[in-house]
Amino acid sequence: MNRSGDMFREWRPHCSLFQKQLAILAMVLFLDGALFGSMLSIARATEEDRAVFADSPMAYAGWTVALTFDDGPHKTCTRALLDGLRERNVRATFFLMGQSIEGNEELIRQMKADGHLIGSHGFSHTELTKAKAEEVRQSLEKTADLLEEITGAEPEYLRPPYGEWNQTLEEATDYITVFWSADSLDWKLQNTEQIVRRVEKTIENGDIILMHDVFPTSVEAALRIVDDLQAGGCRFVTVEELLID
């Protein structure tokens, strides 16, 4: 009897320790689950809050953003975009490709007359970092000469295709390079509703928005974005104006 009592006393502490370990493990799992649930709720709430924010009156009051368009000019899409921006009294920035200039001189003159900033996107849509610096310089000069002949001024701003740039090219050329802080992914989505939703849910004050004026869906989305943000108190400016501010 004494022996079995001793055995019981020896076993009970081990049982109690095991139970404590199980309890601790259960508590850890519970807290992890609760934390994950809270994080998920916060993420959902943040997305819902942004949606509500975007729809609220004067949601963008005091904001200033720059709309930028690459790859043009496009005979029909750029024309529709320019007409829509003029109706809304909005100035944007256009980074034009040299190979798309011929035949679209009238559109470029309209850009200048409407107060848009005209920059260079190179002569063709190739990665400039894969070419020699002298070849890049000559290509940019060719585009600059075409634009100067039409507008009377060489472009000062450059957006390298794909955003590919390096220090060697920076030193070999004399441009102010402009990238972006908000990517609409309009070239990939090619869906008006999705483009609008993406921009309006992610945009921040001071953003440079990347779009392209060579797709009908991009033009429709850009004008929708302008309408929504202007209604919320946002002001649209050129890249130059944004950088000066």
Determine the Cα–Cα distance for residues 95 and 115; give it in Å rounded to an integer. 14
158: closest CA among 189, 122, 206?
A: 122
- Give the tokens for residue 116: 């848009």
Task: Tell me if 158 sits within 8 A of 175, measured CB to CB.
Answer: yes
Token pair for residue 12? 């009970």
Could you count the other beta carbons within 10 Å of the beta carbon of residue 79? 18
Cα–Cα distance measured from residue 80 to residue 110, given in angstroms and rounded to the nearest whole number? 12
Is 174 a known active-site residue? Answer: no
73 close to 95: Cβ distance less than 8 angstroms: no
CA angle 151, 157, 158 (to 5 degrees): 110
Catalytic residue among 70, 71, 186, 213: 70
| 49 is a catalytic site residue | no
Of 14, 212, 213, 227, the active-site residue reads 212
Question: What positions carry a catalytic annotation?
Answer: 70, 212
